[in-house]
Each structure stands twice: as C-alpha cells, then as structure tokens.
Amino acid sequence: MTRIEGTVPSVEQPVIVQRGLWFEELQTGVLYRHAPGRTISEADNTLFSTLTMNPQSLHLDAAASAATEFGERLVNSLLTMSVLVGLSVGHLTQGTIVANLGFSDVTFPAPVRAGDTVYGETEVLDKRLSKSRPGQGIVTFRHTARNQHGDVVAVVTRATLMRSAPAAAS
C-alpha cells in the first residue's frame, strides 16, 4: 500500500473504477446522453484529414472551399463519426467492449464546421447473448450527434460484442 504523507491508509476503503456498462446493464428503450460535448477546431480537422491521408480540398483548402455552396471548409465527416462514437465510450463501453463488429446506416444530415460543438446520445436498438461466445453479448447501438444548436449532424448504427458482468466473487 502506498502511503501519502499526512494520510492514514485505510484497508477497508472501497475503490470505484470508471467503466462502461456490462451487457446486462444496457437497456433498450433508454436514451443515453453523453457529456461533455467536444468542440472541433480547425486544427483538429486539418490534423485528422492529413493523418488519414484525405486531401479533400473541402477540408483543407480555404480558398477552394469558399467557392462551394458552404462558403467555408467543413469538418471531415469521418472525424465527426469518430468523435460521436468516442463520446459514448466512457459512458457505455470503457473496459466492457470486446470488439466493434461493424458500422452501418451512417448518415450526415448537416455539416459540421470548425468551432461547432458535437454532443452525443445513444440508444440501444437490440441486444442478445452470443451463441458462440459464452459470457458475451451482441449489442446494436444507434449513436446520434447534434451540434450546439440541436441540429442532427450524424447518425451511426454500430454493432458491438460486449462482455457480460463477471460472476460475483464467492
């Protein structure tokens, strides 16, 4: 046990570890709102686009983007999707996911611009125990991103393999 000067160690002190929800804790018919949101900067967009080898001028070239119907650069939609899924991790899957199985039905109904804040919410669409992997289950999430004005900017369906709660220690 590590002792910090001026403190008395407690053998009985409970410890709470941040984690996502176990398969059994996830509920259909519930809306999970994630906090905090994430404000996306111009630097975030430029870095993400260049790291992922996406030279799309709509994300990188201010002069060319000014001539589009949007009048400015837009945030890379895959960055928007990544932030949306990331917003859910601490709340739902931190340490309780085995793997992402797939993404489907991805839509971007409105653009995200540098300086926009993305907020995420998730619904559990379906869940079932795995037939081939005891102690695990398949969960289908629908993640929705809204900007600071409440406009939906992304919707993503994600299938995951989740851990079941560990058996109680006996």
Segment 68-105, tens digit of pLDDT: 999 999 999 999 999 999 999 999 999 999 999 999 99
Segment 102-159, tens digit of pLDDT: 999 999 999 999 999 999 999 999 999 999 999 999 999 999 999 999 999 999 999 9
Give me the mean pLDDT over the 41-50 stretch. Answer: 98
| Residue 22 in this model has a pLDDT that exceeds 60 | yes
Identify the three-state secondary structure at position 120. strand
pTM of the full predicted structure? 0.89
The Cα–Cα gap between 165 and 45 comes to: 38
Q: How many CB atoms lie within 10 A of CB 4?
A: 7
pLDDT attached to residue 5: 65
Distances (CA, A) of 117 to 36, 75, 84, 127, 146: 10, 11, 11, 30, 8
- Among residues 36, 34, 45, the alpha carbon closest in space to that of 113 is found at 45
Domain boundaries, the chain: 28-41+75-163
The percent of residues above 70 in pLDDT, for the chain, comes to 92
* Radius of gyration in angstroms for the set of CA atoms belonging to the chain, rounded to a whole number: 20
Match domain 28-41+75-163 to its CATH number in 3.10.129.10, 3.20.20.10, 3.30.365.10, 2.102.10.10: 3.10.129.10
